[in-house]
Amino acid sequence: MLESTAARTIVVSAVQLWSSLEHTPDANREHALAMARRAAMPASPKVPRPDLVVMPESVAMLCYPDGRPDFTYRDVADPIPGKLASSFASIARDTGVNLVVGLIEDRGPDHPCQNTALVFNRAGILVGRYDKTHEPDICRSEQDAGVGSEVPVFDLDIGRVGIMICWDLISPEIAQILMLKGADLICFPHMIGLPTVASFATTLRARAIDTGLPLVAAGMRDAHNHNGCQDGICPTCILDETGNIIAQTDQAAADVVTAPVTLRSDAANRRRVAASNQDRRLDVYAREYARLSNDSNNDRDNKSGNKSGNKSGNDRSNDQARRHD
């Protein structure tokens, strides 16, 4: 990435996908690929081809599997590298756009699946990936989902890009780390259903305001509950660094929203990060988080021990009952 000395404007497209409980994972994959191709093309003769296309999270899943209590991430997982990832790489290469897309990775039967976002440059080369670091407990305990442990940034010709995925929105730390690592822009692939999820609009604006960075959210709609907006914010939108809407789509259907986004110069970014660091107490945060983490691990170990003890007691009771039969 070349260092820029002035603010620059890029064109960004955020893709909104549409799904239904009746859609198969393969149907969702084909739909996502078709919408990526659409987003990568100029919307009109007066609108240039985008520099960056952002797709939603886990594009083979899309719709909440409310009617399937036995659902796991493995039902919609793809190998990486694999056919679906290669298809998105081809779109990036053939159209000359940078592309961010969310997939569920199949890491084999002995490993949890990983909710991840892949980053392709204009040549279709996989620059890197971000593994979602926050998963709801039900996803980890019942749906075979793993979690990531790193917060990378990615250097593209348009600037430095950071990523949060869906439930990462609950954590102000992820966005702050991306800012402190010099990100120019935050991409937010998600499948948060609106208007049913509380505080989405406020929290999304806060992440842009807290970091002073533009934010590109790419979401989903479905034929059931998720077809509205919240406090003026729709799931697929582009916000500026003050949390104001640059562009969004209120369509309860598949759509693409494209808009110019102004990024600070690299020099301005360095000054902003330096100013942010100047008064931060990273030493205090690290110490307190380490203490909280140790307390949490101890609580978890204690609960695990109690469950193990209860299980052993239950097993003994069952053995005694079988002997009495």
Q: What is the pTM of this model?
A: 0.85
Q: What is the pLDDT of residues 29-47, one digit of tens each?
A: 999 999 999 999 987 788 8
Task: Please give the pLDDT value at position 311.
Answer: 46
Task: Please give the pLDDT value at position 19.
Answer: 84
The arithmetic mean of pLDDT across residues 51-71, rounded, is 80
Q: What is the pLDDT of residues 228-274, one digit of tens each?
A: 899 999 999 999 999 999 999 999 999 999 999 999 877 776 677 76
- Which of 93, 140, 138, 94 has its CA nearest to residue 120? 93
Task: Please give the pLDDT value at position 313.
Answer: 47
The proportion of the chain whose per-residue pLDDT surpasses 90, expressed as a percent, equals 62
Looking at 108-112, 220-224, 259-263, 274-278, which range is the least confident one? Answer: 274-278
pLDDT band at 64 (very low <50, low <70, confident <90, very high): low
Task: Find the DSSP H helices in the chain.
Answer: 25-40, 83-95, 137-142, 172-180, 200-211, 266-278, 282-324
Higher per-residue pLDDT: 131 or 195: 131
Please name the amino acid found at residue 25.
P
Tokens of 32: 């996502």
The ranges assigned to domains in the chain are 8-280, 284-325
Task: Please give the pLDDT value at position 68.
Answer: 62
Question: Is pLDDT above 70 for 70?
Answer: no
Say which residues have a Cβ less than 8 Å from residue 296's Cβ, sequence separation at least 6: none
Distances in whole angstroms, Cα of residue 297 to Cα of each of 34, 134, 293:
45, 16, 6
Average pLDDT, the chain: 86
Is domain 8-280 given the CATH code 3.60.110.10 in the classification?
yes
- Which of 51, 111, 52, 53 has its CA nearest to residue 80? 111
Phi, psi of 193 (to 5 degrees): -85, 125
C-alpha–C-alpha distance, residues 75 and 135, integer Å: 17
- Distance between the two ends of the chain, CA-based, in angstroms? 74
Tokens of 297: 């691990």
Tokens of 303: 């609960």
Helix (H, G, I), strand (E, B) or coil at 274: helix
Higher per-residue pLDDT: 7 or 10: 10
Q: What is the pLDDT of residues 43-60, one digit of tens each?
A: 778 888 999 999 999 999
8 A C-beta contact, residue 257 and residue 14: yes
